[in-house]
Structure 1
Amino acid sequence: MYEPNVVGDWQEYEEHAGLRVRVHRLAAAEPPRGRDDAAAGLSYFTLRVTVENRGAQHYGIHLEDGQIDVRVGPDGEGAFIDWRSSQFIEGFDVYPLRRATAVLYAAAPEAALSHVDVQVQLRVDEDWADRRMWAGGIGVLEPSAPAAPAGTGQGSLAHQVSAFLRDQTEPGTA
């Protein structure tokens, strides 16, 4: 079974010697040009797609809108892509030992951001490379803070774990 890459992993292209790509820096962030009206009520996030050439020849690469697909949540719903704030790679020659990076801004319901899938299909010298997939998530779903300081209440998880461990280590309680 095909396993997606984890966000941050490099993926080599066998058909283009030395060329590799990765999706990284998946994080909550506001777009630099302001929020799009179509994203009202959604949480913005950003990600980067970096193409690196470790080979001996240069490659002309394209990574434009329509070549990056972002899906969120357990059902894989499409995220809103803010094309106005995003930066793509449009016909750039990546020479040996050089990189080019696209920056994408997207928005989705906050509850869906714990599961983000990104699919990239790079165009190299007018040829389409195979699609690659990365999976990750954004930890914006922190539980709401309790009224009392964390770990102090009788019902808190920290208190329950401490009590369990104390019971396990005290002599004669087994």
Structure 2
Amino acid sequence: MYEPNVVGDWQEYDEHAGLRVRVHRLEPAEPPRGRDEAAAGLSYFSLRVTVENRGARHYGIHLEDGQLDVRVGPDGEGAFIDWRNSQFIEGFDVHPLRRATAVLYAAAPQDALTHIDIQVQLRVDEEWADRRLWTGGIGVPEAMATATAVSAGPGSLAHQLTAYLKDQSEPGTA
């Protein structure tokens, strides 16, 4: 089964030796000047996508609008992506031991920010690489996480995980 990456994890490309990518710094942000009205009623956030070359040759990288998709909330609704103020990687040669970073600004309802999925499809040397998915969230309240675990039934995975962690944290258990 394919599992998404957690925000902050590196993902390597098998078809491009030494090339890896990650989504990181998923955090609240202020709307850029002039975008206050477009984001009325929404909470602004930003994320970074970094491409790193640990290989022996350089790669021509493209990471532009349309190659990033941001979905929020349990139903996976599309976030408002501020393409005008985001910074992309457009035809940049990433040489060995170098990085290039794109910064994306987006907005969504505050209650949907606890679940954010970011899909990235990188173009390397004019060829499309496989899509990669990262998942994370902003501002998951501890009380909400505890309430979810407590409200889950005794046979649920959340209940089993909570019981296991509780057993591991008790003194005298190994």
Normalised by the length of structure 1, the TM-score is: 0.79
* Residue 21 in structure 1 maps to residue 26 in structure 2: no
Question: Residues 142 and 36 from structure 1, CA distance in 2 versus in 1: closer, same or farther, beyond 3 angstroms?
Answer: farther
Q: Residue 66 of structure 2 aligns to a residue in which SS? A: coil
Q: Residue 111 of structure 1 aligns to a residue in which SS? A: helix
CA distance in 1 between counterparts of 2:135 and 2:35 reads 25
Aligned to 2:154: none
Aligned to 1:163: none
After superposition, the C-alpha distances for 1:61-111 in whole angstroms (9 at most, x for unaligned) are 000000000000000000000011100000000000000000000000000
* Residue 33 in structure 1 maps to residue 33 in structure 2: yes
Aligned to 1:104: 104
Contact 2:47/2:103 (<8 A) preserved: yes
**Displacement after TM superposition at 1:36 (Å):** 4.8
Aligned to 2:88: 88
After superposition, the C-alpha distances for 1:24-54 in whole angstroms (9 at most, x for unaligned) are 0000011333425332110000000000000
Aligned to 1:123: 123
Question: Residues 8 and 41 from structure 1, CA distance in 2 versus in 1: closer, same or farther, beyond 3 angstroms?
Answer: same
Aligned to 2:170: none
What value does the CA root-mean-square deviation take over the aligned residues? 1.4
Normalised by the length of structure 2, the TM-score is: 0.79
| Alignment length (residue pairs) | 143
Aligned to 2:44: 44
Contact 1:8/1:23 (<8 A) preserved: yes
Q: Which runs of 5+ in 1 are unaligned?
A: 144-174
Question: Residues 63 and 78 from structure 1, CA distance in 2 versus in 1: closer, same or farther, beyond 3 angstroms?
Answer: same
CA distance in 1 between counterparts of 2:30 and 2:93 reads 30
CA distance in 2 between counterparts of 1:67 and 1:31 reads 22
Give the 5 Å matches for 1:144-159: none
Contact 1:70/1:117 (<8 A) preserved: yes
Question: Residues 32 and 39 from structure 1, CA distance in 2 versus in 1: closer, same or farther, beyond 3 angstroms?
Answer: closer
- Of all paired residues, the percent bearing the same amino acid is 87
Q: Which runs of 5+ in 2 are unaligned?
A: 144-174
Aligned to 1:135: 135
Letter of the structure 2 residue corresponding to residue 107 of structure 1:
A
| Higher mean C-alpha displacement, 27-36 vs 101-110 | 27-36
Question: Residues 41 and 140 from structure 1, CA distance in 2 versus in 1: closer, same or farther, beyond 3 angstroms?
Answer: farther
Name the one with the larger helix percent.
Answer: 2
